Amino acid sequence: MAFFTVIIPLYNKEKYIENAIKSVLNQTFTDFNLVIVNDCSTDKSVEIASKYISDTVEIIHHKKNAGLAAARNSGIKNTNSNYITYLDADDLWKPTFLESIFQLIQNFPEARIFGTNYEEIWGTVIKNPLNGSENLPIDFTGYINFFKINVKQGIYTHGSVCFHKEVFEKIGYYNEDIGFSEDLDFNIRANYNFKLAYDNSVQMSYFMQTENQLTQSSLLNKTIPDFDSYENWATNNSDLKKYLDFERYVLGKRLKKNNDLRWKKMIATIDSRNLNWKQNVLLKMPSFILNMLDKLKSFLLKLGIKTSTY
């Protein structure tokens, strides 16, 4: 049994999958299995990935396209490892990612969630995320309160986090009925029940503008997380309530930009005190202005300037 199982969900990433696989195989910590879950790719992704099949690399094939949550679940159910981590097929790990996670596991035995920082790749521009990590010492490793610090960009991504199998045994798997932001739903359940140990070093490269990227796709006809279902948990947990309101803001603003009327329900229970003034102002703006601001933000990024409401 390998110490880690690494899961790569794969759907039409022929331009990127080889580099993603290589970034796993080039890890300094080598006690792992790699499970690639082919979610019915129609390009050359599987052909490219198949070159790497070995005693430690396997490919699982879905019979029909089932989505990212189902691909992750398939990988989880096909492993005996105690520690499970992921890499999207268009992202990359630094060579020391698994080594860093291993050190967290050794040093913080009460944790069952282990995350690292990451960098954003915007074409030729590399940026640090505005995710709260800037308020930690550069060399920080230790326990953190996920809900308290995670009210900006994600403190980790699903390419820079590892879960002990006890997490899945207690809270279940990814909700396959959710078509967008299923990772947010899972993060709430996981971090409510388990401690998070964090390494502030950058161990993963998150590519922000690749093809077939779910984070850039339309929300039309997609089921989104029901943050209201966690309100009971937030009754005596102000950090969780603030986190839920922040995620309502993020998703509500996106729905509004798409003229999706679900934005009204999404923001209805937000306590405005849990948002900053910029976020409260943006929620009141019409969709055409929000879309204009997005275009301005993209233009500034090309100049190497990253703007944020955080």
SS3 sequence, 172-221? CCCCCCCCCCHHHHHHHHHHHHCEEEEEEEEEEEEECCCCCCHHHCCCCC
Return mean pLDDT, the chain: 95
Lowest mean pLDDT among 78-82, 218-222, 273-277, 289-293: 218-222
Handedness of CA 307, 212, 91, 70 (dihedral sign): positive
| Angle between helical axes of 182-193 and 238-257 (0-180°, round to 10) | 180
pLDDT for 146-159, tens place per residue? 999 999 999 999 99
pTM score of the predicted model: 0.94
CA–CA gap between residue 198 and residue 156 (Å, rounded): 9
For residue 153, list its beta bridge partners: none
pLDDT for 14-64, tens place per residue? 999 999 999 999 999 999 999 999 999 999 999 999 999 999 999 999 999
User: What per-residue confidence (pLDDT) applies to 219?
Assistant: 85
CA-nearest of 238, 251, 272 to 148 is 238
Q: Is 56 exposed, middle or buried (0-12, 13-18, 19+ CB in 10 A)?
A: middle
CA-nearest of 53, 56, 63 to 30 is 56
Q: What share of the chain has pLDDT > 90, as a percent?
A: 89
Stretch 93-105: mean pLDDT = 98
CA-nearest of 1, 190, 205, 201 to 103 is 201
Grouping H, G, I as helix, E, B as strand and the rest as coil, residue 115 is strand
Show the DSSP H helices in the chain as ranges.
17-25, 45-50, 68-77, 97-107, 146-149, 165-171, 182-193, 231-234, 238-257, 262-267, 277-284, 287-302
The 10 Å Cβ neighbour count of residue 63 is: 6
User: What per-residue confidence (pLDDT) applies to 212?
Assistant: 59
pLDDT for 181-239, tens place per residue? 999 999 999 999 999 999 999 999 999 877 655 556 678 889 999 999 999 999 999 99
CA–CA gap between residue 257 and residue 181 (Å, rounded): 17
CA–CA gap between residue 190 and residue 72 (Å, rounded): 15
Residue 181 Rama label (left phi>0; alpha psi -120 to 50; beta):
left
